[in-house]
Amino acid sequence: MTPARVFALIDCNSFYCSCERICQPELKRRPVVVLSNNDGCIIARSTEAKALGIGMGAAYYKVRDEMRRQGVVARSSNYPLYADISNRVMRVMAEMLPGIEVYWIDEAWGDMTGVSDPTGLGHSIRERLAREIGMPVGVGISTTKTLAKLANWAAKKWKGTGGVLDLTNPVRQEKLLRLAPVSEVWGVGHRSAAKLSTLNIVTAWDLAQFDIGTLRKTFGVTMERTVRELRGVSCIGFNEGPPPKEAICSSKMFGVRQTELPPIREALAVYVSRAAEKLRVQNSLCSTIQVGLQTQLAQLDGPRYANTVTLALPAPTDDTREILALAQRGLSQIDRPGYPLSKCSILLMDLSQRGEMTPDLFAPKPRPGSEQLMKVVDQINQKECRGAVRIGRVLAKPAWAMRREMLSQRYTTRWDEVIGVRG
C-alpha cells in the first residue's frame, strides 16, 4: 500500500535579518531591520524589531530618528549574501530529505512521505542548519501543503513546539484549526479575511467547515482548493522544482537620477547581464525584449517621462552580447536628453526551452562557440563572484549604482570581504 503523502515546510526565521546576524554576532538579540533598494523602506524585521512596533514597508526616512533612539540597527539589502546563504540552506535540506521543492529564497517544501519519525527529522534539520550555517528555521509537517504551512506558523508562534510541529494527526489538526485566525491560512489574504468575516468565518476551522459550493461561487476555485486542503485532501502536488519563467525582468532604481545616456547604458548592460544569467539557469532562449526608461513618476512637481520599446531578436538566443546589442539600440530610441531619469529596465519575453523550437533556416547563424562561452562565463562568476567576468562597458563601482549606505560585507561571496582574524 502506498503511504500517504506527507509535506514539510521549512521556513527561515526573519531570513534577511538572520543572514546579517550570521556574519555579525554583535547583532544577535538586537533589533535589526533590512531596507529596500536605495534604502527606501523596511522590508525585513527581526523579532525584536517587530516587538518595538516597527511596521513592514515603513519609509526609512520617516522612522530613522525613532529607530536610532530605540537602538535599532539598519542594514542595506545585501542580495549576494542572502542568495549564497539561501543556497547553503537548500543544499542541507536536499541532503536530509528525499526531495525538496524550493518555494522562495527563505523556504522550501520537503517530502517526508514514508519517514518513520517526521518530528525527529524536523528537529535534526533545525539543529544542523543552526550548527553548520547559523540559520534558525521553523518546520511544519502535515498531509497537505496548506496544513503544513499552518503548522509552520504555529511552530514559530509557540515556543513549546521547539520550532517543529507535526500536524499529520487529525485530532491535532482540528485543535490548531480552531485556534488559528483565518488570515493565517495560506492563500487567504487580509482582504479575503475581511470578506470572510462577513460570513462569520473567523478561524481556520470556520473556513474548513463552511459550504464549499458557496465559497466557490463567492471566491472562486482557489478558495475551494484551500478548503479541501484544510480538510486533509491534498490538492497541491509536490514538484522537484519550479516551472521555467515565462518572462524575466531586471530593473532597479538608480542611486542618483541620471540625465546623460552613457551611465544609463552602463546600467542597462548590468541588468541585461543579470537577466541573461537567469535565462540560462532555466535553459531558456529569448525571442523578444522590452527596454524601459522612466523618471520618478510619484514626483508631481517635476518633469515626468516614461516609455518602452519592444524589439524582436533575429533568432532565439541566450547570448548576453546579442541581447545587449539590441537593448542598447532600443535605449537610443526612447532616450530623452535632459530628463532626470530614475530607472531603466529590461524584460525578456517569448521564452522557449532549448530544443523545443524548429530553427529558422533564414535566421542569422549564432556566433561560433556562443553557448560554450556563456557557460564558461557563468561558471567563473558562480565560483568567484558575480561580475568577476562582465561586459567591458560596465564599471566595478558605477556612479549610478543603488544607494546602500549601510551595506554589510559580502562575507561569503567575495575573497576581499571575508571575515579576517588578527593574531
Higher pLDDT, 96 or 395: 96
- DSSP labels for 332-396? HHH--TT--EEEEEEEEES-EETTSSPPPTTSPPPPTTHHHHHHHHHHHHHHS-TTSS--TT--S
181 close to 154: Cβ distance less than 8 angstroms: no
* Assigned domain for 399 exists: no
416 pLDDT more than 80: no
* Assigned domain for 414 exists: no
Do both 182 and 163 map to the same domain? no
Do both 374 and 255 map to the same domain? yes
pLDDT of amino acid 259: 87
Is pTM beyond 0.85? Reply is no
Do both 266 and 144 map to the same domain? no
Report how far apart, in Å, the C-alpha atoms of 385 and of each of 128, 234, 272, 377, 410 are: 26, 41, 17, 11, 10
pLDDT of amino acid 44: 93
Percent share of the chain, pLDDT over 90: 55
Do both 177 and 141 map to the same domain? no
Looking at 167, 201, 226, the residue that finishes a domain is 167
Total count of domains within the chain:
3
Which domain covers residue 142, as residue numbers? 1-167
CATH number for 354: 3.30.1490.100
DSSP class of residue 203? Answer: B
Do both 259 and 378 map to the same domain? yes
CATH number for 20: 3.30.70.270
Place of cell 499529520: 168
Average pLDDT in the chain: 87
pLDDT of amino acid 358: 63
* Assigned domain for 270 exists: yes
Higher pLDDT, 388 or 14: 14
pLDDT tens digits along 162-187: 999 999 999 999 999 999 999 999 98
380 pLDDT more than 90: no
* Assigned domain for 411 exists: no
pLDDT tens digits along 285-339: 999 999 999 998 776 677 889 999 999 998 899 999 999 999 999 999 999 888 8
pLDDT tens digits along 205-251: 999 999 999 988 988 888 999 999 999 999 888 775 557 888 999 98
42 pLDDT more than 70: yes
CATH number for 212: 1.10.150.20
Instruction: Tell which residue, 87, 100, 104, 132, has the closest CA to residue 8.
Output: 100
Do both 257 and 234 map to the same domain? no
92 close to 132: Cβ distance less than 8 angstroms: yes
